[in-house]
């Protein structure tokens, strides 16, 4: 049965008016939330996610303590009003547990956990609104929240969803598109040039898979620019609030060579 809504019309426009490679508007709010050490409120179109990070701090339970590195704990919650189905998803929901496991395995190799042995880093993700590309929004929000918490990363992780309608690759899928086309989420590290996440929800022909990954990589660079800009603006605001003391000598807003003295740290 054919879809009642045209995914891509003859003029090359999608149902929401975007071109096939065009991303939805992205907003980033790094305003501190409550007692969290770092937080990020991020939207991809109508999808909205709030991520809070606590730690590194002492592990609450001895069995969770790792002697050589920090333990990364990820919990995902979904607001009952986030989707039209009005279905309440508990912490034991299979889909929620899968999300948390994917995010944990994605960030564990990127967070420099060996710098904080016998400690714990807690990442709490609240999905406030869903309209496709939920996992990418969670990944991007987690990257920003970890950065604002001062947790050292090897690089940004920038994630975007992609799919194929007929033979046409699409980027940043909405719920409507995810329900109608094969889709994949791709997470990249722009500075190091690595792909750290490929989450395939449905079958996708290998030839189309390569093409989608290629355009997703290019989109990751665009996301990186937006995320980096938000971090720099927040850092600049903190420096200004401190009276510019921390900015003496040009630190924090330097040129392309900044951060070269410590390759372990991501160049924000």
Mean pLDDT over 82-86 rounds to 64
What are the start-end ranges of the H helices in the chain?
A: 94-107, 134-148, 175-178, 206-241
pLDDT number for residue 166: 84
Residue with tokens 């790094």: 30
> Of 63-67, 115-119, 223-227, which range is least confident?
63-67
Radius of gyration for the chain, computed over Cα atoms and rounded to the nearest angstrom: 19
In a domain? residue 36: yes
Residue 162, strand partner residues? 171, 184
DSSP string, 41-97: EEEETTEEEEEEEEEEEE-SSGGG--SSSPEEEEEEEE-GGGSTT-----TT-HHHH
In a domain? residue 105: yes
In a domain? residue 40: yes
In a domain? residue 43: yes
> Which pTM value belongs to this model?
0.86
pLDDT in tens, 168-202: 899 999 999 999 888 999 999 998 889 999 998 77
Confidence band for 254, pLDDT divided at 50, 70 and 90: very low
Q: What is the CATH number of the domain that holds 223?
A: 3.30.230.70
Confidence band for 260, pLDDT divided at 50, 70 and 90: very low
pLDDT number for residue 264: 38
In a domain? residue 264: no
CA atoms within 13 A on the CB side of 7: 22
How many other C-beta atoms are found inside a 10 Å radius of the C-beta of residue 106? 21
Mean pLDDT over 78-83 rounds to 83
Q: What is the rounded CA–CA span in Å between residue 114 and residue 48?
A: 32
pLDDT number for residue 192: 87
Between 144 and 79, the higher pLDDT residue: 144
Confidence band for 108, pLDDT divided at 50, 70 and 90: very high
Q: Where are the beta strands (DSSP E) in 110-182?
A: 119-129, 158-165, 168-171
Quote the percentage of the chain above a pLDDT of 90: 61
pLDDT number for residue 100: 96
Mean pLDDT over 69-78 rounds to 95
pLDDT number for residue 7: 87
CA atoms within 13 A on the CB side of 261: 3
In a domain? residue 249: no
pLDDT averaged over every residue in the chain: 86
In a domain? residue 265: no
Domain range enclosing 63: 26-244
In a domain? residue 239: yes
> Of 55-69, 77-91, 248-262, which range is least confident?
248-262
Number of domains in the chain: 1
């Amino acid at each position: 049965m054919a879809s009642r809504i045209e995914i891509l019309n003859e003029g090359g426009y999608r149902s929401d008016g975007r071109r096939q490679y065009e991303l939805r508007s992205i907003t980033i709010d790094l305003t501190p939330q409550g007692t969290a050490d770092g937080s990020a409120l991020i939207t991809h179109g109508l999808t909205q996610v709030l991520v809070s990070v606590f730690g590194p701090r002492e592990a609450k339970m001895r069995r969770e303590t790792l002697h050589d590195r920090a333990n990364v704990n990820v919990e995902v919650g979904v607001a009952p009003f986030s989707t039209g189905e009005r279905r309440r998803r508990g912490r034991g929901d299979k889909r929620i547990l899968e999300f948390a496991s994917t995010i944990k395995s994605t960030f564990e190799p990127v967070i420099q956990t060996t710098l904080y042995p016998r400690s714990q880093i807690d990442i709490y993700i609240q999905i406030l609104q869903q309209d496709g590309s939920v996992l990418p929004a969670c990944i991007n929000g987690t990257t920003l929240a970890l950065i604002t918490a001062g947790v050292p990363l090897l690089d940004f992780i920038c994630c975007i969803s992609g799919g194929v309608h007929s033979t046409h690759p699409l980027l940043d899928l909405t719920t409507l598109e995810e329900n109608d086309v094969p889709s994949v989420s791709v997470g990249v590290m722009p500075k190091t040039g690595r792909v750290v996440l490929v989450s395939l929800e449905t079958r996708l022909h290998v030839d189309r898979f390569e093409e989608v990954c290629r355009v997703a990589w290019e989109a990751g660079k665009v996301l990186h620019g937006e995320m980096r800009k938000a971090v720099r603006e927040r850092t600049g605001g903190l420096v200004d609030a401190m009276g510019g003391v921390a900015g003496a000598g040009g630190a924090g807003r330097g040129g392309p060579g900044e951060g070269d003295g410590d390759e372990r740290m991501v160049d924000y």
